Amino acid sequence: MINRLAVFGATGDLSARYLLPALAALRAAGHLGDRFQLTCAGREDWDGERFRHWVAGRLDRHGASWPADARKAIVACTRYRRADVTDPADVASVIAGDGPVAVYLALPPAVFPAAVTTLHDVGLPPGSRIALEKPFGEDLEGAVELNRLLADLVPEQAVFRVDHFLAMTTVQNVLGSRVANRMLAPIWNSVHIAEVEIVWDESLALEGRAGYYDGVGALKDMVQNHLLQLLCLVAMEPPISLDERELRDRKVDVLRSVRPLTEKDAVRRTRRARYKAGRIGDRPVPAYTDEEGVDPGHHTETFAEVELELDSPRWSGTVFRLRSGKALGHDRKEVAVRFRPVPHLPFGHSGEARPDVLRFGLEPEGLAMDLMGIGSRAQTLVPLTLTARMDPPDLPAYGQVLLDVLRGDAALSVRADEAEESWRVLTPVLSAWSKDLVPLQEYPAGSNGPVPPRRDAPCSA
């Protein structure tokens, strides 16, 4: 296990909200010992004392659930370096030390090529690893070039393309539930499942993230990586084992089976929109274009929806709908598996027979099944919901991510070919949107999003 972690971009929101609390969680769980060293690099001209004071404040705010002694230990093992990721001398000072180092690039994707190139020029100690935040590149061409640069730096097994969704226990439960239960395994196919909705709708608006988000948008920020990863877990063939090659091979199989979207498909089967002024609860929310740091000329979407089909024996005829939106009226973060209706109901029953739905709640974590049954009146069908209580995970998602990086377990990271296949799936969408073939709709903040279209046209074969 590597005992040195170097974080570039350490003064950003990702470190404050997720990485630092995750390290406190690892310390509290006994995964980090007294030999662990944390070197943080940022552009701020701070000394070590000021940075450690900042770290302590962030841990008190975002990591208060972890013991005080664990938080203090993380503060104590931290050092800070002001660094430009394109300057070899700066980068060398950050990674200097004995033995291998795990380098975490908590940076905007546009900076990845320059940072990786500098690390290559400086040279990493043998056995070192590198972790990158999504998205991996800004398009297919960028992903291919980034993978080339990474391959020149370290072996693929030492590259961790981080998607923290894969470290969420409830996300892993999508795969676990379908392969470990005999009642689900035989019906996990298009004969029984009509559609799968993979949704990450949030009431959270931009919240000061314009510097990152306005150059990315909902499609790249959520759909291209997170939601496609969930699609893979829902649709993959049951793996023989959960080792890194087998699991990732099966995910790549799913991405390669996605039916390519034509330009006409992209027009009919995708939506994009951005929020205008409104209210979320009792809080007024300005229009996206009025948020500080937003350039209206970017035409950045805050809502994205893509409808896909898979060309495979298991899934022919099932629709997969991936959707994510910001500043909506309610949070809805789930994978909803909708089964086909029963072919026949006995005469004499009243009430609407709705299709069964299996719901994997992502945040908060949960599992529920919407069924039909007889209610208080004889021969009257009513909806029933069965729910399961989920124990909280031992580690937060980023705690598992960092533990995997330090231990060298790459099973839950994204492989090079997988990153490229994800971009291939959505390249036709990006192309159609760049040509304004799909209108950029608007929806009031606090609403349910843009008005949905009719669902009566199949994707082209």
Query: What residues act catalytically?
Result: 226
**Per-residue exposure over 107-135, b if at least 16 CB sit within 10 Å of its own CB, e if not:** bbbeebbebbbbbeebebeeebbbbbbbb
Angle value at C-alpha 292, between 287 and 295, nearest 5 degrees: 80
- 19, 16, 80, 18: which is closest to 44 by C-alpha? 80
Residue 57 CB contacts under 8 Å (≥ 6 apart), including other chains? none
Query: What 3-state DSSP class applies to 454?
Result: coil
Here the tokens at position 155 are 């072996």
Token match 């992502």: residue?
362
Bridge-based pairing state of the strands 332-339 and 159-162: unpaired
Give CA–CA dist 373/384, Å, rounded: 6
Run of H or E residues at 93? helix 88-95
Report the length, in residues, of the chain. 461
Neighbour count for residue 242 (Cβ, 10 Å) = 12
Please give the torsion angle defined by the CA atoms of residues 30, 31, 36 and 39, in that order, rounded to the nearest 10 degrees. Answer: -120
